[in-house]
C-alpha cells in the first residue's frame, strides 16, 4: 500500500447536503467533497486525492455529468499509483451510474460509489461511516470492478437497487446477494468481486464519452387497465418534434411478473416495433428476472432492472 493513492470524486447528493429547515428538510449537493473528507480518521497507508466532478442532486443526474465522470474515472484509473476510486453520489440514481461505469470501464481496479440517506450536517449523519467503509474497500488488495457501499453492505454494480425510501440501509442486491460487508474497517467478502468482461474498446469509449447526445430510450410500465396511448405518443414523430426531442429509438417495458404484458400495451409495442423501435422486456418486480421462453416477441433484459436495461439499450444503439 505504501505510495498508493485513492482518489475521491465528488458528484453531490445527500451525502453532501445540508439541513434547511425543521422536520429533516435538507438541500442536497451543498458541501464540497474535500469538506466531507476533512476530520475523518483516515488511514496513513495511502495518499488521498479529492476532486469535485459535479455538484448535483442525483435525481437530476444527466448525460453531461455522466460523461464528465467517465472522463475523470478513465484518467485516474490509468495512473499506476492509483489504488482505486471512491465516488460520492446521491442515492436516487446511484444504481444507474454504477451500472454505466461498470459497462463502459469494466475496471481492473475498484471503483466504489458511496452515499448517504442523511445530510452531512445532521447530528446522526451516516455519510462519514459510509465514506470510511468505501475507502476501506477501495484500499482492499485484489478488489476490482464497480460496486456500491452503504450501511456496511457491499453491492455489485450489476445487482444493486435502491429499495427503501427512508431507512439508512437503502440498497439491496436482490436474489444475487451482497458482495460482502465492511465490519469495523475490515472487508469481508461473501462472493467474488464484480467481473464483467470489457465490452468496449478505448476508441469506442472515447466516442461515447464525447457524443453530444445518446439515443433516446424510454421506460413504460405494464399495469392493470393499461392503455397503448403512452407508447403511441412516445413514438409519434410529431410529438417529439413539438417538444424538440429526438425520436424514440428504444423502449424498455417494466412488465408484470415474468415479462407478461397487458394486451393493449403489447399491441402498442408491436406498432412501435413495426416502426423500427427496439423493445426490451424487464420486470417491475424487484426480486427475480425475466426468463426467456420460446416464441418471445422481444428479448429480455438479461436480469437488469428497467433503469439499467434502458442504459444497456442506449449503449447498444450507439
Residue 21 maps to which CATH number? 3.40.50.1170
Claim to verify: residue 230 and residue 149 sit in the same structural domain: no
- Which three three-digit cell numbers place residue 58? 442525483
Claim to verify: residue 112 and residue 218 sit in the same structural domain: no
CB atoms under 10 Å from CB of 290, counted, come to 23
Claim to verify: residue 136 and residue 38 sit in the same structural domain: yes
Closest by CA position to 9, among listed 46, 36, 28 = 36
Q: Which of 14, 91, 114, 256 is catalytic?
A: 14
Claim to verify: residue 184 and residue 230 sit in the same structural domain: no
pLDDT per residue as tens digits for the range 145-161:
999 999 999 999 999 99
pLDDT per residue as tens digits for the range 279-290:
999 999 999 999
For residues 161 and 159, give the distance between their C-alpha atoms in angstroms, rounded to a whole number.
Answer: 7
Question: Cβ neighbours of residue 74 under 8 Å, at least 6 residues apart?
Answer: 105, 205, 209
The widest CA-to-CA distance across the chain, in whole angstroms, is 62
pLDDT of residue 54: 98
pLDDT per residue as tens digits for the range 109-142:
999 999 999 999 999 999 999 999 999 999 999 9
Task: Tell me the whole-structure pTM to 2 decimals.
Answer: 0.96
Beta strands in 118-225 (DSSP E): 145-150, 153-156, 161-162, 171-172, 180-183, 186-189, 216-221
Instruction: Tell me the average pLDDT across 39-44.
Output: 90
In the predicted model, is pLDDT for residue 19 greater than 80? yes
Q: Is 96 helix (H, G, I), strand (E, B) or coil?
A: helix
219 within some domain: yes
Claim to verify: residue 128 and residue 174 sit in the same structural domain: yes
Residue ending a domain, among 144, 174, 189, is: 189
- Total number of domains in the chain: 2
Instruction: Tell me the average pLDDT across 86-93.
Output: 98
Q: Alpha-carbon torsion 56, 60, 63, 66, what sign?
A: positive
In the predicted model, is pLDDT for residue 1 greater than 80? no
- Which three three-digit cell numbers place residue 136? 476501506
- Domain holding 293, by residue range, is 214-317
Q: Model confidence at 193, in pLDDT bands (50, 70, 90)?
A: very high
In the predicted model, is pLDDT for residue 199 greater than 90? no
* Domain harbouring 299, CATH code: 3.40.50.40
In the chain, % of residues over pLDDT 70: 99
Claim to verify: residue 47 and residue 147 sit in the same structural domain: yes
Sequence-separated contacts (24+) of 36-40 with Cβ below 8 Å: 36/10, 36/88, 36/120, 36/127, 36/128, 36/131, 37/8, 37/131, 40/128, 40/131, 40/132
201 within some domain: no
Give, in degrees to the nearest 5, the angle at Cα 75 between 74 and 81.
110
Q: Which residue has the cell 448535483?
A: 56
Q: Are 180 and 112 contacting, i.e. CB atoms less than 8 angstroms apart?
A: no
Question: Cβ neighbours of residue 193 under 8 Å, at least 6 residues apart?
Answer: 110, 142, 143, 144, 145, 147, 179
Claim to verify: residue 179 and residue 220 sit in the same structural domain: no
pLDDT of residue 17: 98
In the predicted model, is pLDDT for residue 3 greater than 70? no
Claim to verify: residue 37 and residue 185 sit in the same structural domain: yes
Claim to verify: residue 272 and residue 233 sit in the same structural domain: yes
Give Cα separations from 103 to 68, 254, 304, 312, 313 (angstroms).
16, 21, 12, 8, 12
Claim to verify: residue 79 and residue 140 sit in the same structural domain: yes
In the predicted model, is pLDDT for residue 8 greater than 90? yes
Claim to verify: residue 153 and residue 111 sit in the same structural domain: yes
Is residue 93 annotated as part of the catalytic site, yes or no? no
Q: What letter would DSSP give residue 118? A: S
Instruction: Tell me the average pLDDT across 186-191.
Output: 97
Amino acid at each position: 500500500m505504501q505510495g498508493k493513492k485513492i482518489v475521491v470524486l465528488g458528484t453531490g447528493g445527500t451525502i453532501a447536503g445540508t439541513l434547511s429547515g425543521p422536520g429533516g428538510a435538507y438541500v442536497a449537493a451543498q458541501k464540497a467533497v474535500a469538506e466531507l473528507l476533512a476530520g475523518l480518521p483516515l488511514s496513513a497507508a495511502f495518499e488521498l486525492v479529492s476532486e469535485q466532478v459535479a455538484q448535483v442532486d442525483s435525481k437530476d443526474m444527466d448525460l453531461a455529468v455522466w460523461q464528465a465522470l467517465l472522463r475523470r474515472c478513465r484518467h485516474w484509473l490509468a495512473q499506476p499509483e492509483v489504488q482505486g476510486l471512491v465516488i460520492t453520489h446521491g442515492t436516487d440514481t446511484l444504481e444507474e451510474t454504477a451500472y454505466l461505469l461498470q459497462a463502459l470501464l469494466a475496471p481492473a481496479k475498484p471503483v466504489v460509489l458511496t452515499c448517504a440517506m442523511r445530510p452531512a450536517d445532521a447530528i446522526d449523519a451516516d455519510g462519514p461511516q459510509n465514506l470510511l467503509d468505501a475507502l476501506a474497500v477501495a484500499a482492499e488488495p485484489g478488489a476490482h470492478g464497480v460496486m456500491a457501499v452503504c450501511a456496511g453492505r457491499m453491492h455489485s454494480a450489476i445487482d444493486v437497487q435502491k429499495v427503501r425510501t427512508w431507512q439508512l440501509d437503502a440498497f439491496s442486491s436482490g436474489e444475487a446477494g451482497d458482495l460482502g460487508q465492511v465490519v469495523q474497517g475490515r472487508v469481508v467478502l461473501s462472493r467474488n468481486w464484480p467481473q464483467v468482461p470489457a465490452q468496449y474498446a478505448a476508441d469506442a469509449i472515447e466516442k461515447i464519452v464525447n457524443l453530444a447526445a445518446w439515443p433516446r430510450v424510454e421506460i413504460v410500465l405494464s399495469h392493470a387497465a393499461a392503455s397503448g396511448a403512452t407508447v403511441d405518443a412516445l413514438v409519434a414523430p410529431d410529438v417529439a418534434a413539438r417538444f424538440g426531442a429526438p425520436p424514440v429509438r428504444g423502449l424498455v417495458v417494466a412488465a408484470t411478473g415474468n415479462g407478461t404484458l397487458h394486451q393493449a400495451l403489447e399491441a402498442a409495442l408491436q406498432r412501435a416495433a413495426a416502426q423500427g423501435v427496439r423493445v426490451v422486456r424487464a420486470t417491475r418486480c424487484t426480486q427475480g428476472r425475466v426468463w426467456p421462453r420460446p416464441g418471445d416477441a422481444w428479448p429480455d433484459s438479461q436480469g437488469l432492472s428497467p433503469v439499467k436495461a434502458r442504459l444497456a439499450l442506449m449503449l447498444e444503439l450507439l
